[in-house]
Chain A
């Protein structure tokens, strides 16, 4: 199984990456990156990503507490709603964020010419749900008896949290924290669209050098820096999560407590956060979709049946929707099956030192695609898969395959921590009853993480639907997807195209909310073991 995984990642990720980088490394790449300018770009990349990840975690832990550890009605809808930003194309985020121009205080942030405060807000906007869901996923299955025991000993809620709960959540916090850090470090769309000319991250520099200047020497050097950054973030996360050991509930019925008056501060902070940072931009996009020259109407939606002003689009919205859903289905299938296998291999108890080393190494191999420029990978596909063994380049399958490489690391980071916290006693007692490893996996572990699997599939599906970079880079004209069509609309002046783009975004928002909501209905309320 290891060999299969290595083959998959090797052929579809590392080989094309090596092909394109080898062009750059033939040149004088070292001299181009050993400059103070690059040092300041690296520093900005790190601090903006660290700050964004820190804020996402801070609000995310509070959110996870309310949405997964407490109970109130409407919870599932809110969980679904906060997931939407994760899939929105960046230009739509930028348009949604213009709503903040109307607000006091925040409008001053908007005026900062560099756009850095807005970039950080947008990072948090997009990644908040990831923190809430990954941390919440573990939190909701923690054994509540421990909390109660601590309370009986006279510990307050904050005390219980810091001394009992936090250590048990450490693995998931470190895991999702590093994930968000890497997403923020490698997101070039947001930085480009929200930042001014002076804001540069490693990824935007790679974009500029690879796509505009065709300076592959410099791009290769920058990708090397990116790899170092990714590996370091990953190592730090592993170190931080070592102490983590959680106790999952083994009781068949575990009722989450209702929210009460003492939750009020958490409720207010989270309410304001979700209301202002998440709902306002989304509402602003939806509002614009219904605007027809200063009045209210459905014209933008009925226009979606056509091909845009002056037949701008070469395929219909319906065809683009079919392409998108088809890609999303394949991406979800491939990345879920692969992610599950990889998580299984990574989570087995290490037999010896070498086995443990192999697991750490493979974990890294699976994680690196998240931190590496997808543009560079795209260029790698262009030069690698033109002919020869795999002339993938001209097939529509290239888009879902590339999208899978983007979602597999996420699937692993979602599934792996929750397998890690499954009580080892369960496994041991099954073993003594002479169950085979695959029986233990399929009959005991997979059912326990069922909810997590649903969540991971939801993320795969919505990422694939909203994904723009790979789709725009690799999809042929008649293979355009909803986000690429949306960009075509918005790259032309005119109210009709703009209105159609907003209407299409609204449909994306509704789609993402419904998918995640429906999946959460499928979730089992309680964990039976």
Chain B
């Protein structure tokens, strides 16, 4: 018998052993990749609830939701954090959640611009998303493909809301004619194309989050970037217990903890998001560089029902 087969059988046997000794005290939280929970908070949860928290990152919010749908019968965890309002309809219609999804936090998807770039050229930065189609801002904007990126889809929904069913396609055609660059993911847009980040790219306007400028504070105490507070999409994220979970009580305890004061207070610093519970303190250093828009767009639309149709039309323009 070849060594590899012996090894394989050995490995599988070990694996079975490991899972066989699963303690019922363990509770698994499935999250998107950007979830952050400090060691102190994990320890605090374990101590106060008596459970042992295990975190499972399952891709971005879109992949996360789809993996949960695929594994519905035997879910990969007990509770889920990170399904947002672009995906909540899908998750609910697929009957993933035990009870209902509970909102935990929110943030705005907005354009950011590089203040230094515009100052050096003595050009006024755009103040609205309609201006992005003007000749003076030609080839200055990078944004994300709504087919493969969650901020991309959020902005698409915002444009449908703002320009209406009859107008949004022509807005995107104008954007295309004004030579916007489209990347497939946020990372490439922000870190290789945007001029205001450490990547020092060639595009001074990027689709990102209203909170991003708080992370571009330079040694002079000023942020190099700012948000365009027009045409923003209000992204709300949810937590929920999963159906068929191994540890339903642990899941409930976890949901309650994420809505509790300690965890809510950690949202701004850890995840660059606003806590949903009113009255939760926001650190001053953070609120100094981020603003929330007074009016947001697209979040009231039925994204689940329209997504496929919007994406097909968008793709017809860009692909």
Contact = CB atoms under 8 A, between A and B. Distances in A.
Contacts of B145: 197
A153 interface: no
A492 B63 CA distance: 18
B276 interface: no
A383 B59 contact: no
Interface stretch (B13-21, B96-104, B157-165, B234-242): B13-21
B148 A95 contact: no
A488 interface: yes
Contacts of B36: 310-312, 314
A214 B69 CA distance: 9
Interface stretch (B49-57, B254-262, B293-301): B49-57
B134 interface: no
A395 B181 contact: no
Interface string A270-282: 0000000000000
Interface size class of B (residues with CB under 8 A): 35 or more
Interface in A111-147: 113
A73 interface: no
A379 B56 contact: no
A493 B212 contact: yes
Interface residues of A, number: 76
A298 interface: no
Nearest to A379: B70
Nearest to B53: A477
Given A98-B192, A337-B3, A391-B16, A192 B185 contact: yes
A341 B7 CA distance: 13
A211 interface: yes
B95 interface: no
A127 B308 CA distance: 37
Contacts of B166: none
A393 B183 contact: no
Contacts of A497: 215
A101 interface: yes
Given A493-B190, A498-B191, A214 B16 contact: no
B199 to A, nearest CB: 7
A1 B57 contact: no
B70 to A, nearest CB: 6
B33 interface: yes
Contacts of A198: 318-319
Interface in A466-500: 472-473, 476-478, 480, 487-488, 490-495, 497-499
Nearest to A194: B188
Interface string A1-28: 1001101100110000000000000000
A503 to B, nearest CB: 12
B208 A493 contact: yes
Contacts of A499: 198
B123 interface: no
A334 B8 contact: yes
Given A94-B188, A477-B54, A494 B215 contact: yes
Interface string B1-41: 11111011001101110110010000000000110111100
A447 interface: no
Contact of A390 (B7, B15, B181, B192): B15
Given A211-B63, A212-B148, A341 B71 contact: no
Given A477-B55, A490-B191, A401 B11 contact: yes
Contacts of A95: 191-192, 199
B178 interface: no
Nearest to A498: B198
Max chain A CB contacts within 10 Å: which of B37, B54, B183, B308?
Answer: B183
A69 interface: no
Contacts of B14: 395, 397
A21 to B, nearest CB: 13
Contacts of B136: none
B47 interface: no
B74 interface: yes
Contacts of A194: 188
Given A198-B318, A211-B66, A392-B15, A337 B54 contact: no
A195 interface: yes
A387 interface: yes
Interface of A: 1, 4-5, 7-8, 11-12, 91, 94-95, 98, 101, 113, 192-198, 200, 204, 207-208, 210-214, 288, 291, 293, 307, 309-312, 314, 330, 333-334, 337-338, 341, 379, 382-383, 386-387, 390-398, 401, 472-473, 476-478, 480, 487-488, 490-495, 497-499
Given A293-B219, A395-B18, A472-B59, 9 more contacts: A113-B181, A197-B182, A214-B69, A314-B36, A379-B70, A386-B76, A491-B33, A495-B198, A495-B216
The 4 closest A-B pairs by CB, nearest first: A494-B215, A338-B4, A477-B55, A4-B5
15 contacts: A5-B5, A8-B4, A12-B8, A91-B191, A195-B184, A210-B66, A214-B66, A291-B198, A333-B7, A334-B4, A382-B70, A395-B14, A401-B8, A477-B56, A498-B197
